[in-house]
Amino acid sequence: MERAANSRAAAVATERGLLEQVNKQEYDIIEAIRSVLSANVEHYRDVLAQIALAKRGEVSIVRIDGSQEKSITPYEYNSLEIDFDADFIRQMAVNT
């Protein structure tokens, strides 16, 4: 009986180790995706802000919060924090 318990404990330990490896790989993949997304969004945001500054009066940036619209300056736009959390990235993967 003790041998069977030890055998089951070893099998569980192996499965737990595999699960930890999968979780680490998922974390690494999500972090890589987050890094690429952030870099792309920062570049896109910089370009939009430059266009708004170059075309002052012709182009405006509007922030929509619920049903409210508010014009913001390119500087305000550039200072907005954009974050992609792990749940957002997982949801994107599911919906793709």
pLDDT tens for each residue of 48-68: 999 999 998 888 899 898 899
2: confidence class by pLDDT, cuts 50, 70, 90: confident
Q: How far apart are CA 41 and CA 83, in angstroms?
A: 10
Cα 27 to Cα 20: distance, rounded to the nearest angstrom: 10
- For 27-52, what is the mean pLDDT? 92
For the chain, give every domain's residue range.
2-94
Contact 38, 94 (CB under 8 A): no
Q: How confident is the model at residue 96 (pLDDT cuts 50, 70, 90)?
A: low
If we measure between CA atoms, which residue out of 22, 12, 32 comes closest to residue 86?
Answer: 32
CA 40 to chain centre: 12
Residue closest to 90 by CA, chosen among 26, 38, 24:
26
Closest CA to 89 of 19, 42, 23, 36: 36
Enter the pTM of the model: 0.68
